[in-house]
Structure 1
Amino acid sequence: MARQTTERGKEFLSSFEGVVLKAYPDPGTGKAPWTIGVGHTAAAGAPVVVKGMVITHATAMDILSRDLVVFESWLNKLVKVEITQAQFDALASLIFNIGPGNFQKSSVLRLLNKGDKLGAAAAFASWNKAAGKVMSGLVRRRAAERTLFETGYYGSAIAANDDETVGVVMASGSPHPEGVRALQADLISLGLLPVGDDDGDFGRETEAAVRAFQLKHALTVDGRAGPATRSAMAAALKKAAKPIAVAMFPLRDQPLDLPAAA
């Protein structure tokens, strides 16, 4: 019988991909293709994502289930040995992130089909780069996937999600100064913070700058820099021919170099 990703597996995957409940635009155009849920665009099938679209977390998981069918099909076709459900869930997270083409030629699959499950588990770690650069966010994700594959432990990555934007969100008091500093650099480039205010402290001035940007761009004005806000910031920076420090992330295939609980 063909396997499917479990509910725990979907929560595990989405804890790294992020769940966005309000549609956000392509960072390069500020328009289509619009993205919602767990990286869903109209290219993946229904529903068609349009500006202003809002969904619940439950709907995001339903859409993810449909989007996962194609990846699950690839796994069921390519994996030739018996694996546990936890191992399937770990592989589903990997193939969703790196794509079927990369997975098909990966040492993870080659070693697994040779019966070397320990070698396959160790090979997860090789998929830790974006644009040729090792990303600590991908290092953490691969380590969690390897742990799930080897032990069946889904870990603390699964959060108690409710109907709000979740994923990598920076907000007042964020304990990750490296990410906040990059966000502040983008806000300075947009003229919303004074030059020199990139101190890594998400305080009242930074929150006010985020709110000002959200108000100007018809976003939810909550002072929280989540994927939708940063996507709009990326589009604004690109239009102004300004460098982008962090605003573009995390979008599909562009992991943010921050812990997922930022």
Structure 2
Amino acid sequence: MASRKNSLLVLVGVLLLGTMVRSVSAGEVNAAVAANFTAPMQQIAALFEKESGNTVKLSFGSSGKFTAQIKEGAPFDVFLAADVKNPKLLEEEGLAVKGTRFVYALGKLVLWSAKPGFVDDKGAVLGKGDFNKIAYADPKLAPYGLAAKETLEAMGLWDKVQGKLVTGESIAQTYQFAATGNAEMAFVALSQITKDGKITGGSWWLVPADKYNPIEQSAVQLTAAKDKAAAKAFLAYLKSDKAVAVIRSFGYELP
């Protein structure tokens, strides 16, 4: 009887020790993430937390605004931008760790309306001008906004729509303009209207890739990262099969 009791105490001790070790070794990652990647990032972060024991604090916004905040000392550990330019700029200024930058997703631009049948599958609605407002993200801050501008310029419509443009601070705000009816349609990321590989509703035009420069979404570890091991592990997890499956399910392609 005493032997069984001692064995039980040893087992309890081992379990408690294991819990303490995990608690001590668990880290935290403070991630700045491009707004278009909100839904997939929430899923990926949850998977990473479950498998690693680390926690992830997520902040979402425009790539340009995050870059400015990081330059001013914002306490982020990793940066998942919607472009290559901003992470590379931080790298050149010594604010990001050289050799850690990589493309984690290739974005796709969509012209979307919450109204079924409003946007045709060739984007002809843009040329007809039969709308009052069209939203896009600020091209100085958001790569998807720049892609929208490039698309309109390629179609010869940039000057024509000037009086109808509504500018969002980020792609998330741009989506809200169309979702709430403050604009009849908006240029958004395909990921924002996609779930489990299917577009969730409304009407849309998948903009041909030849109308804008590639949206190469890049991640990088920041020099000021407090827990460098956790930050490194998090970026490595973005390349895992589980993370890639999530990324693809939201309409992104991989490089």
TM over 0.5, shorter chain: no
Larger radius of gyration: 2
Larger relative contact order (C-alpha < 8 A, sep ≥ 6)?
2
| TM-score, scaled to structure 1 | 0.25
Q: Which has the higher strand share?
A: 2
